[in-house]
Amino acid sequence: MHALDQDDDLADFEPREITIDDVTRRVWVGGQGAGAGAGAGAGAGGPAVIVMTEMPGISPEVARFARWVRDAGFTVWMPSLFGRDGAVPGADEGAAIFRRTCIAATFRAVATGGPGAVTGWLRGLARIAHQACGGPGVGAIGMCFTGNYALSMMLEPAVLAPVLCQPSLPLDAPAAIESPPEELAAVRARLEREDLTVLAYRFAGDAVCRAERFAAYERALGDRFRPRTLPDTAARREGLSPFFARHVPTPHSVVTAHLIDEAGQPTLAARDEILAFFAERLT
Protein backbone atom coordinates (compact mmCIF):
# COMPACT_ATOMS: atom_id res chain seq x y z
CA MET A 1 0.00 0.00 0.00
CA HIS A 2 1.41 3.37 -1.05
CA ALA A 3 0.84 6.30 1.34
CA LEU A 4 -1.26 9.07 -0.21
CA ASP A 5 0.46 11.81 1.81
CA GLN A 6 3.95 10.96 0.54
CA ASP A 7 5.48 11.18 -2.92
CA ASP A 8 5.04 7.97 -4.92
CA ASP A 9 8.15 6.70 -6.73
CA LEU A 10 6.00 4.69 -9.17
CA ALA A 11 8.60 1.91 -8.88
CA ASP A 12 6.07 -0.76 -9.83
CA PHE A 13 5.57 0.89 -13.24
CA GLU A 14 8.03 0.87 -16.13
CA PRO A 15 8.90 4.35 -17.48
CA ARG A 16 9.07 4.49 -21.27
CA GLU A 17 9.98 7.43 -23.49
CA ILE A 18 7.53 7.33 -26.40
CA THR A 19 7.84 9.59 -29.43
CA ILE A 20 4.80 10.31 -31.59
CA ASP A 21 4.78 13.02 -34.26
CA ASP A 22 8.20 14.22 -33.07
CA VAL A 23 6.94 14.77 -29.52
CA THR A 24 8.44 12.59 -26.77
CA ARG A 25 6.66 12.00 -23.48
CA ARG A 26 7.27 9.66 -20.60
CA VAL A 27 4.64 6.96 -20.18
CA TRP A 28 4.38 4.77 -17.07
CA VAL A 29 3.37 1.24 -18.04
CA GLY A 30 2.17 -1.41 -15.58
CA GLY A 31 0.96 -4.95 -16.09
CA GLN A 32 1.90 -7.81 -18.36
CA GLY A 33 2.35 -5.38 -21.23
CA ALA A 34 5.18 -3.70 -19.31
CA GLY A 35 7.55 -6.39 -20.58
CA ALA A 36 10.65 -7.28 -18.60
CA GLY A 37 11.03 -3.94 -16.82
CA ALA A 38 10.05 -2.81 -13.35
CA GLY A 39 6.32 -3.16 -14.07
CA ALA A 40 6.48 -6.77 -15.19
CA GLY A 41 4.51 -9.05 -12.97
CA ALA A 42 2.90 -6.10 -11.19
CA GLY A 43 -0.55 -7.13 -12.34
CA ALA A 44 -2.41 -9.72 -14.37
CA GLY A 45 -1.82 -7.82 -17.60
CA GLY A 46 -4.29 -7.71 -20.44
CA PRO A 47 -5.74 -5.14 -22.84
CA ALA A 48 -4.47 -1.57 -22.58
CA VAL A 49 -6.13 1.25 -20.68
CA ILE A 50 -4.82 4.81 -21.06
CA VAL A 51 -5.05 6.59 -17.68
CA MET A 52 -4.76 10.37 -18.11
CA THR A 53 -3.95 12.36 -15.01
CA GLU A 54 -5.92 15.20 -13.54
CA MET A 55 -4.35 18.55 -12.64
CA PRO A 56 -1.69 19.15 -11.36
CA GLY A 57 -0.08 15.82 -12.29
CA ILE A 58 0.28 12.12 -11.51
CA SER A 59 -0.43 12.32 -7.78
CA PRO A 60 -0.40 9.34 -5.40
CA GLU A 61 -4.21 9.20 -5.80
CA VAL A 62 -3.96 9.04 -9.59
CA ALA A 63 -1.31 6.32 -9.28
CA ARG A 64 -3.59 4.42 -6.88
CA PHE A 65 -6.36 4.44 -9.46
CA ALA A 66 -3.93 3.24 -12.14
CA ARG A 67 -2.95 0.34 -9.87
CA TRP A 68 -6.60 -0.58 -9.42
CA VAL A 69 -6.97 -0.74 -13.19
CA ARG A 70 -3.77 -2.78 -13.52
CA ASP A 71 -4.75 -5.18 -10.75
CA ALA A 72 -8.15 -5.69 -12.41
CA GLY A 73 -6.33 -7.37 -15.29
CA PHE A 74 -5.40 -4.56 -17.65
CA THR A 75 -2.12 -3.06 -18.82
CA VAL A 76 -2.01 0.58 -17.74
CA TRP A 77 -0.39 3.23 -19.93
CA MET A 78 -0.19 6.45 -17.90
CA PRO A 79 1.36 9.36 -19.83
CA SER A 80 3.13 12.21 -18.05
CA LEU A 81 1.33 15.29 -19.35
CA PHE A 82 2.21 17.94 -16.74
CA GLY A 83 3.57 18.28 -13.21
CA ARG A 84 6.01 16.12 -11.26
CA ASP A 85 5.23 12.45 -11.59
CA GLY A 86 4.28 10.85 -8.28
CA ALA A 87 4.37 14.08 -6.28
CA VAL A 88 1.87 15.01 -3.58
CA PRO A 89 0.24 18.13 -5.08
CA GLY A 90 1.55 21.17 -3.24
CA ALA A 91 -0.60 24.30 -3.12
CA ASP A 92 1.83 26.76 -4.71
CA GLU A 93 3.55 24.33 -7.06
CA GLY A 94 0.22 22.93 -8.22
CA ALA A 95 -1.14 26.40 -8.94
CA ALA A 96 1.98 27.24 -10.96
CA ILE A 97 1.62 24.03 -13.00
CA PHE A 98 -2.02 24.87 -13.62
CA ARG A 99 -1.16 28.36 -14.90
CA ARG A 100 1.62 27.10 -17.18
CA THR A 101 -0.53 24.36 -18.65
CA CYS A 102 -3.46 26.69 -19.24
CA ILE A 103 -1.41 28.90 -21.54
CA ALA A 104 0.38 26.05 -23.34
CA ALA A 105 -0.59 25.84 -27.01
CA THR A 106 -0.91 22.06 -26.84
CA PHE A 107 -3.63 22.20 -24.18
CA ARG A 108 -5.63 25.39 -24.85
CA ALA A 109 -7.43 25.30 -21.52
CA VAL A 110 -9.53 28.44 -21.89
CA ALA A 111 -10.26 28.20 -25.61
CA THR A 112 -13.56 26.86 -26.89
CA GLY A 113 -12.32 26.23 -30.41
CA GLY A 114 -11.31 22.62 -29.87
CA PRO A 115 -8.90 20.31 -28.09
CA GLY A 116 -5.18 20.87 -28.10
CA ALA A 117 -2.64 18.96 -30.14
CA VAL A 118 -2.05 16.63 -27.20
CA THR A 119 -5.16 14.64 -28.15
CA GLY A 120 -3.55 13.64 -31.45
CA TRP A 121 -0.55 12.38 -29.51
CA LEU A 122 -2.83 10.41 -27.21
CA ARG A 123 -4.59 8.78 -30.14
CA GLY A 124 -1.18 7.69 -31.37
CA LEU A 125 -0.44 6.28 -27.93
CA ALA A 126 -3.68 4.28 -28.07
CA ARG A 127 -2.57 2.73 -31.37
CA ILE A 128 0.82 1.78 -29.92
CA ALA A 129 -0.76 0.36 -26.76
CA HIS A 130 -3.25 -1.70 -28.76
CA GLN A 131 -0.51 -3.14 -30.93
CA ALA A 132 1.53 -4.02 -27.84
CA CYS A 133 -1.27 -5.51 -25.73
CA GLY A 134 -3.74 -6.89 -28.24
CA GLY A 135 -7.35 -7.57 -27.37
CA PRO A 136 -10.45 -6.03 -28.95
CA GLY A 137 -9.29 -2.48 -28.24
CA VAL A 138 -8.20 0.12 -25.70
CA GLY A 139 -9.88 1.86 -22.78
CA ALA A 140 -9.29 5.52 -21.93
CA ILE A 141 -10.10 7.59 -18.87
CA GLY A 142 -9.58 11.32 -18.57
CA MET A 143 -9.91 13.34 -15.39
CA CYS A 144 -10.60 17.03 -14.85
CA PHE A 145 -8.30 18.89 -17.28
CA THR A 146 -7.96 15.73 -19.41
CA GLY A 147 -11.56 14.59 -18.98
CA ASN A 148 -12.73 15.33 -22.51
CA TYR A 149 -9.55 13.84 -24.01
CA ALA A 150 -11.05 10.37 -23.62
CA LEU A 151 -13.90 11.45 -25.90
CA SER A 152 -11.57 13.00 -28.49
CA MET A 153 -9.61 9.74 -28.50
CA MET A 154 -12.70 8.03 -29.95
CA LEU A 155 -11.53 9.27 -33.35
CA GLU A 156 -8.95 6.48 -33.03
CA PRO A 157 -10.64 3.14 -33.94
CA ALA A 158 -8.65 1.23 -31.30
CA VAL A 159 -10.40 3.12 -28.46
CA LEU A 160 -13.57 1.30 -27.41
CA ALA A 161 -14.23 2.30 -23.79
CA PRO A 162 -14.08 6.05 -22.99
CA VAL A 163 -14.63 7.37 -19.46
CA LEU A 164 -14.92 11.07 -18.65
CA CYS A 165 -14.34 12.01 -15.00
CA GLN A 166 -15.34 15.58 -14.14
CA PRO A 167 -14.38 16.99 -17.60
CA SER A 168 -13.45 20.60 -16.80
CA LEU A 169 -12.64 22.31 -20.09
CA PRO A 170 -13.29 24.90 -21.34
CA LEU A 171 -12.83 26.64 -18.02
CA ASP A 172 -14.53 29.84 -19.12
CA ALA A 173 -17.69 28.24 -20.54
CA PRO A 174 -19.35 25.81 -18.11
CA ALA A 175 -22.08 24.83 -20.57
CA ALA A 176 -19.66 24.13 -23.43
CA ILE A 177 -17.75 21.03 -24.56
CA GLU A 178 -14.10 21.21 -25.54
CA SER A 179 -14.60 19.17 -28.73
CA PRO A 180 -15.64 21.13 -31.84
CA PRO A 181 -19.02 20.26 -33.42
CA GLU A 182 -17.56 18.24 -36.29
CA GLU A 183 -15.62 16.06 -33.85
CA LEU A 184 -18.69 15.49 -31.70
CA ALA A 185 -20.68 14.53 -34.78
CA ALA A 186 -18.00 12.03 -35.86
CA VAL A 187 -17.81 10.55 -32.37
CA ARG A 188 -21.59 10.22 -32.09
CA ALA A 189 -21.76 8.53 -35.50
CA ARG A 190 -19.14 6.02 -34.40
CA LEU A 191 -20.85 5.36 -31.07
CA GLU A 192 -24.11 4.58 -32.84
CA ARG A 193 -22.51 2.60 -35.66
CA GLU A 194 -20.53 0.36 -33.29
CA ASP A 195 -23.04 0.33 -30.40
CA LEU A 196 -20.61 2.00 -27.99
CA THR A 197 -21.22 4.22 -24.98
CA VAL A 198 -19.43 6.88 -22.95
CA LEU A 199 -19.40 6.82 -19.14
CA ALA A 200 -19.11 10.15 -17.30
CA TYR A 201 -18.90 11.13 -13.63
CA ARG A 202 -19.20 14.30 -11.56
CA PHE A 203 -20.25 15.46 -8.11
CA ALA A 204 -23.52 17.37 -7.89
CA GLY A 205 -21.93 20.47 -6.37
CA ASP A 206 -18.79 20.57 -8.49
CA ALA A 207 -18.17 24.23 -9.32
CA VAL A 208 -15.89 23.38 -12.27
CA CYS A 209 -17.68 20.51 -14.00
CA ARG A 210 -21.24 21.71 -13.63
CA ALA A 211 -24.58 20.18 -14.56
CA GLU A 212 -24.71 22.38 -17.67
CA ARG A 213 -21.72 20.57 -19.12
CA PHE A 214 -23.29 17.15 -18.73
CA ALA A 215 -26.47 18.50 -20.29
CA ALA A 216 -24.40 19.65 -23.28
CA TYR A 217 -22.87 16.18 -23.63
CA GLU A 218 -26.33 14.62 -23.53
CA ARG A 219 -27.52 16.94 -26.31
CA ALA A 220 -24.45 16.14 -28.41
CA LEU A 221 -24.28 12.37 -27.85
CA GLY A 222 -27.83 11.37 -27.00
CA ASP A 223 -28.36 8.13 -25.13
CA ARG A 224 -24.80 7.07 -25.94
CA PHE A 225 -23.74 9.34 -23.09
CA ARG A 226 -24.21 7.66 -19.70
CA PRO A 227 -23.86 10.31 -16.95
CA ARG A 228 -23.41 9.58 -13.26
CA THR A 229 -23.82 12.38 -10.71
CA LEU A 230 -22.72 11.62 -7.16
CA PRO A 231 -23.98 13.50 -4.08
CA ASP A 232 -21.53 15.89 -2.44
CA THR A 233 -21.84 13.87 0.78
CA ALA A 234 -20.01 11.03 -1.01
CA ALA A 235 -16.80 13.06 -1.31
CA ARG A 236 -13.76 12.63 0.92
CA ARG A 237 -13.14 15.82 2.89
CA GLU A 238 -10.27 14.98 5.22
CA GLY A 239 -6.61 14.38 4.47
CA LEU A 240 -6.61 16.14 1.11
CA SER A 241 -3.33 17.30 -0.44
CA PRO A 242 -2.38 20.97 0.01
CA PHE A 243 -3.36 21.77 -3.59
CA PHE A 244 -6.85 20.34 -3.23
CA ALA A 245 -7.32 21.75 0.26
CA ARG A 246 -6.54 25.29 -0.92
CA HIS A 247 -7.67 25.43 -4.53
CA VAL A 248 -10.53 22.92 -4.93
CA PRO A 249 -13.29 24.05 -2.54
CA THR A 250 -16.06 21.78 -3.88
CA PRO A 251 -16.16 17.99 -4.42
CA HIS A 252 -14.50 17.30 -7.75
CA SER A 253 -12.24 14.26 -8.25
CA VAL A 254 -14.53 11.23 -8.24
CA VAL A 255 -11.99 8.38 -8.43
CA THR A 256 -8.90 10.07 -7.00
CA ALA A 257 -8.60 12.85 -4.42
CA HIS A 258 -12.24 12.82 -3.26
CA LEU A 259 -12.73 9.04 -3.38
CA ILE A 260 -13.51 7.37 -0.04
CA ASP A 261 -11.83 3.97 -0.06
CA GLU A 262 -14.41 2.18 2.08
CA ALA A 263 -16.95 -0.52 1.25
CA GLY A 264 -20.37 0.86 0.40
CA GLN A 265 -19.12 4.30 -0.61
CA PRO A 266 -20.55 5.76 -3.86
CA THR A 267 -17.09 6.75 -5.10
CA LEU A 268 -15.83 3.19 -4.68
CA ALA A 269 -18.92 1.96 -6.53
CA ALA A 270 -18.05 4.38 -9.34
CA ARG A 271 -14.55 2.91 -9.51
CA ASP A 272 -15.98 -0.60 -9.71
CA GLU A 273 -18.41 0.42 -12.44
CA ILE A 274 -15.53 1.83 -14.48
CA LEU A 275 -13.51 -1.37 -14.09
CA ALA A 276 -16.55 -3.42 -15.12
CA PHE A 277 -17.04 -1.17 -18.15
CA PHE A 278 -13.46 -1.79 -19.25
CA ALA A 279 -13.92 -5.53 -18.74
CA GLU A 280 -17.14 -5.58 -20.77
CA ARG A 281 -15.65 -3.73 -23.73
CA LEU A 282 -12.07 -4.97 -23.75
CA THR A 283 -12.15 -8.64 -22.73
Residue 151 has pLDDT above 60, yes or no: yes
Percent of the chain with pLDDT over 90: 85
pLDDT in tens, 156-180: 999 999 999 999 999 889 999 999 9
Res 218: pLDDT: 98
| Average pLDDT for 133-145 | 97
CA pair distance 260, 255, nearest whole angstrom: 9
Q: pLDDT class for 34, splitting at 50, 70, 90?
A: low
Residue 12 has pLDDT above 50, yes or no: yes
Question: Which has more confidence, 220 or 105?
Answer: 220
Res 225: pLDDT: 98
pLDDT in tens, 184-195: 999 999 999 999
Supply the mean pLDDT for the chain: 91
Write the DSSP assignment of the chain as a string of letters: ---TTS----TTSEEEEEEETTEEEEEEEESGGGTTSTTTTSS---SEEEE---TTS--HHHHHHHHHHHHTT-EEEEE--SS-TT----HHHHHHHHHHHHH-TTT-TT-SS---THHHHHHHHHHHHHHHH-SS-EEEEEEGGGTTHHHHGGGSTTEEEEEEES---STT-TT--SS-HHHHHHHHHHHHHTT--EEEEEETT-SSS-HHHHHHHHHHHGGGEEEEEE-GGGS--SS--HHHHHH--S---TTTTT---STT-HHHHHHHHHHHHHHHHH-
Q: Are 193 and 224 in contact (CB under 8 A)?
A: no
pTM, two decimals, is: 0.93
Res 102: pLDDT: 78
Sequence spans of domains, the chain = 14-282
Res 108: pLDDT: 53
Per CATH, the homologous superfamily of domain 14-282 is Alpha/Beta hydrolase fold, catalytic domain (3.40.50.1820)
| Average pLDDT for 7-13 | 97
Residue 129 has pLDDT above 80, yes or no: yes
Q: pLDDT class for 109, splitting at 50, 70, 90?
A: very low
Range scoring the smallest mean pLDDT among 27-41, 45-59, 186-200, 230-244? 27-41
Q: Are 58 and 28 in contact (CB under 8 A)?
A: yes
pLDDT in tens, 218-274: 999 999 999 999 999 999 999 999 999 999 999 999 999 999 999 999 999 999 999
| Average pLDDT for 47-56 | 97
Res 198: pLDDT: 98
Percent of the chain with pLDDT over 70: 90
Residue 92 has pLDDT above 60, yes or no: yes
Q: pLDDT class for 38, splitting at 50, 70, 90?
A: very low
